[in-house]
Amino acid sequence: MLNRGYEPLRQFRQNLFDLLVSRFETTQGEQPNLLIKDKDLLLKINIPQHLASITNINDLNTLNKFFVISKLSIQAGQFINDNRYRLQWIDILSKVKEIKFSLEQFIQEYLRYEKAFIEFPFDTSVLIYLIQRMHPSKKEKESPFRIFLRLSNNLKLNSSMFFEQFQSIFSNGIKIQRYEMKDIIELFAWIRLQDQLFDQYFSHYSFTVNTDDLWDMFLKLGKFNIINSVNQKHVISILTEKIPLTSIETFRRYTKLAKTYLIEIKPEFRSHFIELFEKIFDAYIIKQFNYSQYSSRVSRTDCKDLLQDGLEMSLNNRLERPSCLLLVRKILCEVENYQKTNAQKLKTVFGNLKDFDEKLCQKYAAEKIIDDEWLKDFLITNPQIWLKLDQETYRYLYANHQNNPWTIYIWSRIVHLSLSKMLNNNYVDILSKINDWMKKVKCDIYNPTDIFTITLVNKLFELILTKYSRPIITLSNIDIIINFIICMRE
């Protein structure tokens, strides 16, 4: 057998390849074709061995030589009809160490001779392989996703199938920051109506980037109205999981950014964006306050700022929303641990009320906002503790209500709930002690402006009538209460 290094043989091989390439180019790939179909002869000729010599494709002639030998090798595998000898495009391409063509150039050259490959064309898996190997640089001006989609269309591939298989490349590209934000947004816009596909891609993105980038993406998707009724459940599901893990300072910064973006959003899209923000806001607040490790970090000032944000970024400014109610409760009713006495607790809650947004107190009925459960730490259910409520504390309470309907309502409920528990015991003794207490704190004289004491006496009278049949006027040691009631009636 002649040595491969034998010069005449080497020259013959080169001339043969040149002839094959020339024929390939002039017929746009239709020729040459393999005419030998005998299995044994084909195995002896072993056309694929010549592919092994093409380790680098660095010019057009070598590329076309690669294509023509690939065509003949695949045809040989089909004629041999044995799976051991069948060649796939990825197998062939993987043997080439270096391709000095861009992805687009390579595909364009393939398409120039696509008639050669009608029976074994590039499929989606081949395009994915080539993208992995020849991914465009970040320096390219055109979006890589736009390039990939164009190539997929030129190859007559199914775009949905392409995006299904492209996910791992996308995920890795996000990790190494290969893609620009504007290009990712465009990709999301293309697949926004494909429920499962959007979910998969948004999940890849959101679980790779930090929350700042995730929030920025949310704002931009909202700005361009890419979040719709089809995909919003995926966006909200992920954001309501990740955003509540951020600090108060971070979330307030996010809220400020959302307000800024709202101005830039077209009027017809704003209500939808606000609706999405509300869901994230609600999830954030509920997470913060339903878990003690979070709620302890949130100050009253934070809560007041968050409440303002929540009402501003709302479709109907409803204070009755669960998130807003949680904030109101913390603003008004949270008492520091060191404030142990009932007097201190009462002064705290009424001091908080004095400092609360008066417009909200006028706009919303207190009974629809304030729950009795909020007030359980402020109840005085022992007459001895009630007697410790001194004049200075009581004067502070009633002197600062400023006819605030919420303050009056909260006092009314505290009195009602406290007396309801106390009067289950010896109500005669209790009435006597409250009678003495009224004298002690100097609220024994009826004053039509003393709403707190009027409320107290009214509740006493109301509960006694409800619980007991004996007339209150027949009881002893309650002269102050009786005189107060008489003056009220007059």
Residue with tokens 């339903």: 290
pLDDT at residue number 431: 86
SS3 99: strand
Cα(317)–Cα(335) distance, integer angstroms? 27
- Report, in angstroms and rounded to the nearest whole number, the Rg of the chain calculated over CA atoms: 40
Cα(450)–Cα(399) distance, integer angstroms? 8
The whole-model pTM stands at: 0.84
SS3 56: strand
Cα(295)–Cα(315) distance, integer angstroms? 26
Work out the number of other CB atoms within 10 angstroms of the CB of residue 296. 9
- What six digits make up the tokens of 125? 């898996």
Domain limits of the chain?
335-490
Cα(329)–Cα(317) distance, integer angstroms? 17
- What is the enclosing helix (H) or strand (E) of 232? helix 232-242
Residue with tokens 């995730």: 214
- What is the enclosing helix (H) or strand (E) of 448? none
Q: 93, 101, 98, 103: which is closest to 60 by C-alpha?
A: 101
pLDDT at residue number 1: 43
pLDDT at residue number 199: 96
β-strands 98-99, 56-57 pairing: parallel
Cα(213)–Cα(164) distance, integer angstroms? 24
pLDDT at residue number 474: 64
pLDDT at residue number 294: 57
Is 364 within 8 Å of 412 (Cβ atoms)?
no
pLDDT at residue number 293: 59
- What six digits make up the tokens of 83? 């799976």
Cα(276)–Cα(334) distance, integer angstroms? 29
* pLDDT tens, N- to C-terminus, the chain (490 residues): 445 556 665 676 777 778 888 898 899 888 988 888 878 787 787 788 888 889 999 999 999 999 999 999 898 888 887 777 788 999 999 999 999 999 999 999 999 999 999 999 999 999 999 999 999 998 889 999 999 999 999 999 999 999 999 999 999 999 999 999 999 999 999 999 999 999 999 999 999 999 999 999 999 999 999 999 889 999 999 999 999 999 999 999 999 999 999 999 999 999 999 999 999 999 999 988 877 655 667 889 999 999 999 999 999 888 999 999 999 999 999 887 655 788 889 999 999 999 899 999 999 999 999 999 999 999 998 888 888 899 999 998 888 787 899 999 999 999 999 998 887 767 788 888 899 999 999 998 999 989 999 999 999 888 877 766 666 666 678 889 888 988 888 7
Question: For residue 165, which amino acid is it?
Answer: Q
pLDDT at residue number 9: 58
